[in-house]
Structure 1
Amino acid sequence: MKNIDYRELQPEHFERLLLLANTVHGDNYMDPAALEAYWHAGFTNQINASWVALDGDKLVGFRLTLAAGNWQPDKWCSPELWPIPATEVCYFKCNTVDADYRAYGIGSKMLKLSVQNAGKQGARGGLAHIWMASPGNSAFKYFSKCGGELVKEHPGKWLENVINDGYDCPVCDTGCDCVAAEMLLRFD
């Protein structure tokens, strides 16, 4: 494997990121408008918390992180159970690595880079909704290994995306019954 180059997410990466996102997570997982909104939400004080991993010109991974204060907890969040005020929690929207590049530490490296920059932005922790239906439940295992703590499980979190956005879950035949694990990663 070549050396992987890690860079802060920029608009020049958007087209390749969308291709990888929709290939891995299913059609209509993300569109250009949503990606641009996520990118803007990743900034505070000119510090970018979102990252990409490149092998030459090939985008092989990305981590979208929304800065603390730039996202709102929704019905799938339980801030009353968090040991950190919601205003000091960033949101780990998505971590994706190309199937041919998994198990090389790329996802963990991007998480560390996002945590560093989110900390510089003032966050003391990060929240993620982990897809429990990932192959071998690898997403939950990975985030737990990185220090993430389970807060609560949310069945059917992505069903609204199926109904409203045309999202095509890669594991469910109709709709989406996948469970999201609400997990918090403390930075201290």
Structure 2
Amino acid sequence: MSITLNYQHLTPADFDLVIQLATEVHGEGYIDKTSMQAWYEKGIKNNINASFVVYHNKKLVGFRITYAAQQWQIDKWCSTELWPVPAEQVCYFKCNTVDEHYRGHGVGGELLKRSIIATKAQGALAGVSHLWRPSPGNSAVKYFTKCGGILIKDHPDRWHEISLAGYDCPICHHDCHCEAAEMMIIFQ
């Protein structure tokens, strides 16, 4: 039995459901209304929106937040000296989240594909992300690799600072020591 999924650009009307799904999957304090608005705005460049949501009937079952090149802060977790593309031409794949009942059916890959098309239209040549190594079965890294991602560098304690500031990691709670895989997809 196949289901019909409705992929569309993220809009402010989706914010509450995105926050709810993000909290269920990533933990309390991962995102709030203020950060959601900022994340949304970082994805729009040249009137092109690089962030997407997907619904099954009226239920939000996934989302992808992507920041346009030059509209995000390169920080200490970005190994720009190892990137094969100039930093000003790299978008940031902030977050990909799929409801657990819809995983394994290509939803994450389709969301990523749509974001790549949008960011290429915005002028990006590549996209970078920090993937959660402890995801169940290392699924985040596996999926990103399957989509063409290459490992740039591993970063222990990537989310430690935000956990001390209130983020409740699903594994470590308020003292997160999870490792991130900094990965890049170079667009063809």
Q: The TM-score by the shorter chain falls in which range?
A: over 0.9
Measure how far apart 1:75 and its partner are. Answer: 0.4
Which residue matches 1:21?
A: 22
CA positional deviation for 1:173: 5.2
Query: 5 Å matches for 1:81-100?
Result: 81-100=82-101
For 1:177, the equivalent position in structure 2 comes to 177
Q: Corresponding residue for 2:60?
A: 59
1:10-159 to 2 correspondences below 5 Å: 10-159=11-160
Aligned residues: 187
**8 Å CA contact retained: 2:164, 2:174:** no
For 2:94, the aligned partner's letter is: K
- Flag structure 1 segments of 5+ consecutive residues without an equivalent: none
Q: Deviations over 1:6-60 (max 9, x none)?
A: 0000000000000000110011111111010010000111000000010111110
| Structure 2 runs not aligned, ≥5 long | none
For the Cα contact (< 8 Å) 2:167–2:173, is it kept in 1? no
What SS does the corresponding residue of 2:164 show, helix, strand or coil? helix
- Between the aligned partners of 1:110 and 1:172, the Cα distance in structure 2 is 28
Which residue identity is paired with 1:91?
A: Y
In 2, Cα distance between the equivalents of 1:118 and 1:173? 33
* TM-score, structure 2 as length reference: 0.98
What is the DSSP-based 3-state SS (H/G/I as helix, E as strand, rest coil) of the residue aligned with 1:130?
strand
Runs of 4+ in 1 over 2 A off after TM superposition: none
Instruction: Provide the TM-score with structure 1 as the length reference.
Output: 0.98
In the alignment, is the contact (CA less than 8 A) between 2:39 and 2:65 conserved in 1?
A: yes
Percent sequence identity over matched residues? Answer: 51
Q: 2 CA distance for matches of 1:31 and 1:155?
A: 25
